[in-house]
Amino acid sequence: MRIVVCAKQVLDPDAVNNYALAGRLVIGEDGKTLTQTTIPQLMNAYDEQALEAALRLRDAGADCRIAVVSAGTDPTTLLRHAAALGADEIAAISLPSSGQDYHVIAALLAAYIRSSGGADLVLCGRQASDDDQGVVPALIGEALGMPVVTVARSVERAGSSDRPAVRVTRVTPDGDEIVEAACPALVTISNELGEPRYPTAARKLAARRMKPTIVSPDELSLRPEDLEPRALLTRQYVPTVQGHCEFVPGNTPAELADRLVGLLREDKLLQ
Amino acid sequence: MTSAAVVVCTWRGVRGEIPEETEAALTLGRKVSSALGADLHWLVVGTAPEADAEIAARQGVAALERIEDAKLAGGQADAFVEAMAQYCAQRSPRLLLFNQTFDTRLVAARLAGRLGSGAVMNGVDVEAEAGGRLRVTAAAYGGDTRVVYELAGEKSCIVALLANAVVPQPVEGAASSPTRSDVAVDLSGVEERIRVLEPARAEGLRLEDAEIIVAGGRGLSSPENYKLVEQLAEALGGMAGASRPLVDDGWVDSSRQVGLTGKITRPGLYIAAGISGASQHMAGCAAAKTIAAINTDPDAAIFRYARYGIVGDCLEILPELIRAAKQGR
Ligand SMILES: Cc1cc2nc3c(=O)[nH]c(=O)nc-3n(C[C@H](O)[C@H](O)[C@H](O)COP(=O)(O)OP(=O)(O)OC[C@H]3O[C@@H](n4cnc5c(N)ncnc54)[C@H](O)[C@@H]3O)c2cc1C
Ligand SMILES: Nc1ncnc2c1ncn2[C@@H]1O[C@H](COP(=O)(O)O)[C@@H](O)[C@H]1O
């Protein structure tokens, strides 16, 4: 079976958090993008886990080819990392620096999947840690007519060799739910899947020689309306958090605890 | 009114209840509809008892619409997407507003794909400009930033609204007297492609409904210490929550996770022990009425959100809090 993993390059969210905490998150002159060049670019963590889910299917004996695709301005490093982890094919959809929205991205990814041999299983992250939208997978699923199973902690093979299916455990607000869908299907992966593996040094070296297939949007024969953004980012800003913390005084843990409980009781928050 | 309607879509939970956040969405929907010169509709999927009419009137809804079909009873996405798509084909609404939940996140996004319209999740505000263009403000980077999206075109736009983003307000002046209608959809062609083998079992109380939450983070330093959090929660008659690393490291079950990708809570009191206050965590507890935080680092982000702070070691403070909570009750 062919598994396509969609992976997005994002700014390291922990670094973004640290800049935000230090009050040093700066929006560039375009009013839209974060411009700290010191923030590293990474593969979106959920996408790394999506690739891990694909590798686990292979480990479990699935006869599969794993393709990793990324749409971006320069996803080469990300794709090499994917190759080092075990991807058989890597593809970059080269994008001009801006002007797309995730509707366009989804259309491009869907068209790539269709034109590159299709997929029995598409794996995505549950959301990208920069935009947090989680919309792209649903749009790809609709474009390809695939059922979309979201927020998975595990993906296993099910069905038979002529009628393949996947069995997915979803992390829902009410606990785990186990579902089955016939392939082709799209599944989004959550952090509950667990730690992704690390590439070995030898594989890293080998991956350096692997060249991503570069796909230009023109090759994907999309209709003009598919390339029209529908939700265009016009502005980004850093919201202000108004601090008003009253630090509880005290010299010993007991004193601090008594004071806090006292304050909370005064406020009628505790009995 | 001439413009196409603004429609708030809700569907009932497993217990037949209307989501708590419905009124917030209706309040925002009312603001947008009046800016557009459009009617506010409220589309309820499932049965609509009298209480809905009261809410609708209080929120200035012009039309209370209902879709009912046996295929929707299972709560499965294919039927919902098809039902909503048929609704949009019949009525061409300008904007569809959803309360963002685990289920609507998927249905709203798939619907956008089906209709070819723009969709934005994590919405905190929607504004209609002169000329009718819609601008949506949404949270990004877990809440570190806000982004503003402009929704293009005249097609039905889709926005999912974050919990706690809007404060519900009743309409000023006289309540409306909404019309009621049933919307007929034909779902006979829908065959759910996803088969549920084992449903989720909602067990016990939900963190979302807790009045008091005590949450622990990586500052607890080892899994055994999480019991301090549980004991304090019990002593206070509340529930225990956690930051994501504790879930990732297998200390606690993911049903305890508070945050962007966990539970969105709004307790009266949230006690955070050994939690740094990363935006992705705060996304799930910033709406608490009062936050009290214990952290060794006086510069921890959590103190920006906290009403009360203790700078100290939570492993020393928690046992004393348990004692103090039990005393004088
Ligand atoms: C896309 C995405 C989604 C995410 N979703 C979530 C989510 O839903 N929920 C969530 O929680 N996180 C989420 N995260 C992770 C989030 O960014 C933070 O990494 C996480 O919340 C940090 O957890 P923490 O505060 O427990 O740990 P840390 O950040 O390591 O903080 C530990 C804190 O404990 C303090 N401390 C250390 N020792 C002690 C002691 N003895 N006593 C008292 N204090 C002490 C330290 O000063 C520090 O402030 C998400 C991240 C991403 C990228
Ligand atoms: N530019 C992209 N290239 C490849 N995959 C993407 C891209 N954008 C989004 N995705 C996939 O869609 C998921 C959700 O992204 P989003 O809808 O942007 O939150 C990601 O975790 C990826 O799997």
Name which of B49, B51, B50, B67 is nearest B7 in CA terms: B67
Q: How confident is the model at residue B1 (pLDDT cuts 50, 70, 90)?
A: very low
Q: Which amino acid is at B242?
A: A
Pocket test for ligand 2, best of A124, A187, A191 (most atoms within 8 A of CB): A124
Pocket test for ligand 1, best of B226, B251, B280 (most atoms within 8 A of CB): B280
CATH 3.40.50.1220, chain B: domain bounds: 207-327
pLDDT digits (tens, 9 = 90+) for A41-62: 999 999 999 999 999 999 999 9
Q: Do residues A251 and A195 share a domain?
A: no
Let me know: does A197 contact A54? Beta carbons within 8 Å. no
In this complex, is the C-beta atom of A258 within 8 Å of any C-beta atom belonging to chain B? yes
Element holding B33 (H helix, E strand): helix B22-36
Q: Do residues A219 and A264 share a domain?
A: no
Å between A69 CA and nearest CA of chain B: 20
**Residues of chain B contacting residue A264, judged by C-beta atoms under 8 Å apart:** 269, 290, 292, 308
Let me know: does B234 contact B323? Beta carbons within 8 Å. no
A156 belongs to a structural domain: yes
In this prediction, residues B11-18 reach a mean pLDDT of 72
pLDDT digits (tens, 9 = 90+) for A125-171: 999 999 999 999 999 999 999 999 999 999 999 999 889 999 999 99
In this prediction, residues B115-123 reach a mean pLDDT of 96
Q: Do residues A220 and A101 share a domain?
A: yes
pLDDT digits (tens, 9 = 90+) for B237-279: 999 999 999 999 999 999 999 999 999 999 999 999 999 999 9
Let me know: does B149 contact B57? Beta carbons within 8 Å. no
Q: Which amino acid is at B185?
A: V
In this prediction, residues A226-249 reach a mean pLDDT of 92
> What's the whole-number average pLDDT of chain B?
93
CA-angle at B58, arms to B101 and B3, nearest 5°? 75
The per-residue pLDDT for B191 is: 95
Please state, for a pLDDT cut of 90, what percent of chain A lies above it. 85
Please state, for a pLDDT cut of 70, what percent of chain A lies above it. 100
Q: What is the ipTM score, two decimals? A: 0.95
Q: With a cut of 50, say whether residue B72 has pLDDT above it.
A: yes
Å between B187 CA and nearest CA of chain A: 17
Ligand 2 atom, smallest distance to A69 CA: 4
HEC letters along B154-204: CCCEEEEECCCCCCCCCCCCCCCCCEEEECCCCCCCCCCCEEEEECCCCCC
Q: How confident is the model at residue B14 (pLDDT cuts 50, 70, 90)?
A: low
What token pair was written down for A157?
């093979």
Q: How confident is the model at residue B286 (pLDDT cuts 50, 70, 90)?
A: very high
Q: Do residues A86 and A206 share a domain?
A: yes
In this prediction, residues B157-182 reach a mean pLDDT of 93
A234 belongs to a structural domain: no
Pocket test for ligand 2, best of A47, A68, A100, A193 (most atoms within 8 A of CB): A47
**Residues of chain B contacting residue A172, judged by C-beta atoms under 8 Å apart:** 102, 200
The per-residue pLDDT for B15 is: 65
Å between B219 CA and nearest CA of chain A: 16
The per-residue pLDDT for A125 is: 98
Name which of B253, B249, B250 is nearest B240 in CA terms: B253
Q: With a cut of 70, say whether residue B2 has pLDDT above it.
A: no
Q: Which residues pair with A157 in a beta bridge?
A: A166
Topology of domain B3-182, per CATH? Rossmann fold (3.40.50)
From chain A residues 38-57, the ones with a CB under 8 A of any chain B CB are: none
Inter-chain residue contact B102 with A172, CB threshold 8 Å: yes
Å between A209 CA and nearest CA of chain B: 34
A80 belongs to a structural domain: yes
A237 belongs to a structural domain: no
Q: Domain range for residue A252?
A: 244-271
Measured from the alpha carbon of residue A129, the closest ligand is: 1
Q: With a cut of 70, say whether residue B49 has pLDDT above it.
A: no
In chain A, how many domains are there?
2
A232 belongs to a structural domain: no
Name which of B126, B151, B156, B153 is nearest B138 in CA terms: B126
Q: With a cut of 80, say whether residue B153 has pLDDT above it.
A: no
Q: With a cut of 70, say whether residue B24 has pLDDT above it.
A: yes
A170 belongs to a structural domain: yes
Q: Do residues A269 and A167 share a domain?
A: no
A238 belongs to a structural domain: no
Q: Do residues A170 and A265 share a domain?
A: no
Let me know: does B276 contact B300? Beta carbons within 8 Å. yes
Measured from the alpha carbon of residue A70, the closest ligand is: 2
Mutation target for B interface from A48, A135, A187: give the one with most B CBs within 10 A: A135
The per-residue pLDDT for A74 is: 85
The per-residue pLDDT for B203 is: 74
pLDDT digits (tens, 9 = 90+) for A184-227: 999 999 999 999 999 999 999 999 989 999 999 989 989 988 88
Ligand 2 atom, smallest distance to A128 CA: 19
Question: Which of B116, B144, B149 comes nearest A16 by C-beta?
Answer: B144
Q: Do residues A123 and A32 share a domain?
A: yes
In this complex, is the C-beta atom of A249 within 8 Å of any C-beta atom belonging to chain B? no
Inter-chain residue contact B114 with A13, CB threshold 8 Å: no
Q: With a cut of 50, say whether residue B163 has pLDDT above it.
A: yes
Q: What's the CATH code of the domain at A103?
A: 3.40.50.620
CA-angle at B110, arms to B104 and B113, nearest 5°? 145
| CATH code matching the domain that covers B207-327, chosen among 3.40.605.10, 3.40.50.1220, 2.90.10.10, 3.30.1490.20 | 3.40.50.1220
Ligand 1 atom, smallest distance to B317 CA: 42
> What's the whole-number average pLDDT of chain A?
94
Q: Do residues A53 and A145 share a domain?
A: yes
Question: Which of B206, B303, B321 comes nearest A243 by C-beta?
Answer: B303
Separation CA A235–CA A268 (nearest Å): 42
Closest Cα to atom 37 of ligand 1: B219
Q: Do residues A222 and A252 share a domain?
A: no
In this prediction, residues A12-39 reach a mean pLDDT of 91
Let me know: does B10 contact B72? Beta carbons within 8 Å. no
**Residues of chain A contacting residue B293, judged by C-beta atoms under 8 Å apart:** 245
Question: Which of A142, A192, A258 comes nearest B254 by C-beta?
Answer: A192
A94-99 long-range contacts (CB < 8 A, ≥24 apart) are A94/A214, A94/A215, A94/A216, A94/A217, A95/A71, A95/A217, A97/A73, A98/A30, A98/A32, A99/A229
Closest Cα to atom 8 of ligand 2: A8
Q: Do residues A142 and A269 share a domain?
A: no
Q: With a cut of 50, say whether residue B12 has pLDDT above it.
A: yes
Radius of gyration of chain A (CA): 22
Name which of A236, A149, A134 is nearest A184 in CA terms: A149
Q: How confident is the model at residue B220 (pLDDT cuts 50, 70, 90)?
A: very high
Question: Which of B102, B116, B308 comes nearest A248 by C-beta?
Answer: B308
A16 belongs to a structural domain: yes
The per-residue pLDDT for B155 is: 83
SS3 state at B129: coil
Q: Do residues A7 and A113 share a domain?
A: yes
- Ligand 1 centroid to Cα of residue B242, in Å, is 9
Measured from the alpha carbon of residue A72, the closest ligand is: 2
Q: Do residues A73 and A199 share a domain?
A: yes
